[in-house]
Structure 1
Amino acid sequence: MARMHTRKKGQAGSTKPIRTEPPKWSNTNKDEIESTIQQLATSGTSSSKIGMILRDRYGVPDVTLVTGKKIGTIMKEKNVSSKVPEDIHNIIIDVLDLNKHILKNPKDMHNKRALNNKISKIRRLEKYYRREGVLPADWKFSIQRAEMLIS
């Protein structure tokens, strides 16, 4: 999501080079890549970490060039995707850490504000994912449920 809680405009980032086929030096065995994704996903690895592992260990710079599908799509086809989207999962982990900190330091107003900002970001993403059908219609965020969900 964009910079909603700051006055900054954001940064320009680099763009990937336009390619239509994988490089000659890369691993292009489609079945091997899909089985590796399935193995890593069943062990609980997130899709972004799977992409880094494939790049660093297996020599696959871009999965979509080889397979024609994204890592998340392959995980859904193999029925090994997580119940909660990865971006909400990462923000929930941050919220739980901030909540622990605020319980120890109740006068820390800066981090209370940061906690409120993260919770509102989760609620916005939750509304989007419910509308898109990724999350069930009765899914609600609460810190107590989040602790059970993550642990």
Structure 2
Amino acid sequence: MARMHTRRRGSSDSDKPVADEPPEWSDVDADAVEERVVELAEQGLSPSEIGLKLRDEGVQGTPVPDVSLATDKKITEILEENDAEPDLPEDLRNLMERAVRLREHMNDNPNDHQNKRALQNTESKIRRLVDYYRGDELDADFTYSYDTAKELL
């Protein structure tokens, strides 16, 4: 499938291999993994950063290749159970950070038309995501603007 705002095609055959149980070399207790996930979330890491940290550093020196195989829960589910979930969904937060950076760049460089278009595309993605999350993870009257994004970040 093609990308929305570029002429490039998407990547094919990029799925992870199917696995039903964690590898035998990673014998980490599920409770220890959950404690580590909550600890990393309290340090301010996003769910994807937590997954990378567990993959690289692990728990008690043993890497955790896949949290959902080790605990039968996703990282976001673990965070919800322990009331440690972030205030904004991660994809929306990343897009807002990009939009704030692009807006500040546009204030310094008003004739940069390529980045002006990139800002328009990013803000349209944000508006679509806000519509998707409105009511569940965002307030029902939440609307995106540069000022609200700057305030939330």
State the TM-score, normalized to the length of structure 1. Answer: 0.93
Q: For residues 110 and 64 of structure 1, what CA distance do their matches in structure 2 show? A: 40
Give per-residue Cα distances to partners, 1:1-31, cap 9 Å, x unaligned.
x621122231214221211110111142111
User: Which residue number corresponds to residue 89 of structure 1?
Assistant: 93
Following superposition, the deviation at residue 35 of structure 1 comes to 0.5
Runs of 5+ unmatched residues, structure 2: none
**Whose helix fraction is larger, Structure 1's or Structure 2's?**
1
Provide Cα deviations, 1:22-60, integer angstroms capped at 9, x if missing partner: 011114211110000001001110000000000110100
Instruction: Report which stretch shifted further, 92-101 or 9-18.
Output: 9-18
Partner of 2:116: 112
Distance 2:127 2:27 in 1: 40
Map of 1:2-151 to 2, 5 A cutoff?
A: 3-58=3-58, 59-130=63-134, 133-150=136-153
- Separation of aligned partners in 2, 1:78 and 1:100: 36
Residues 67-111 of structure 1, C-alpha deviations (whole Å, 9 max, x = no match):
100000000110011111000100111111111110000111111
- Letter of the 1:143 partner, please give it: Y
Question: 1-side partners of 2:137 and 2:27: how far apart?
Answer: 32
Post-superposition shift, 1:145?
Answer: 1.1
Whether the 8 Å CA contact 1:22–1:28 is kept in 2: the answer is no
- TM superposition score normalised by structure 2: 0.92
Helix, strand or coil: the match of 2:57? helix
Contact 1:72 1:81 in 2 (8 A): yes
CA RMSD of aligned residues (A): 1.2
Q: Distance in 2 between matches of 1:38 and 1:79?
A: 9
**Runs of 4 or more above 2 Å deviation:** none
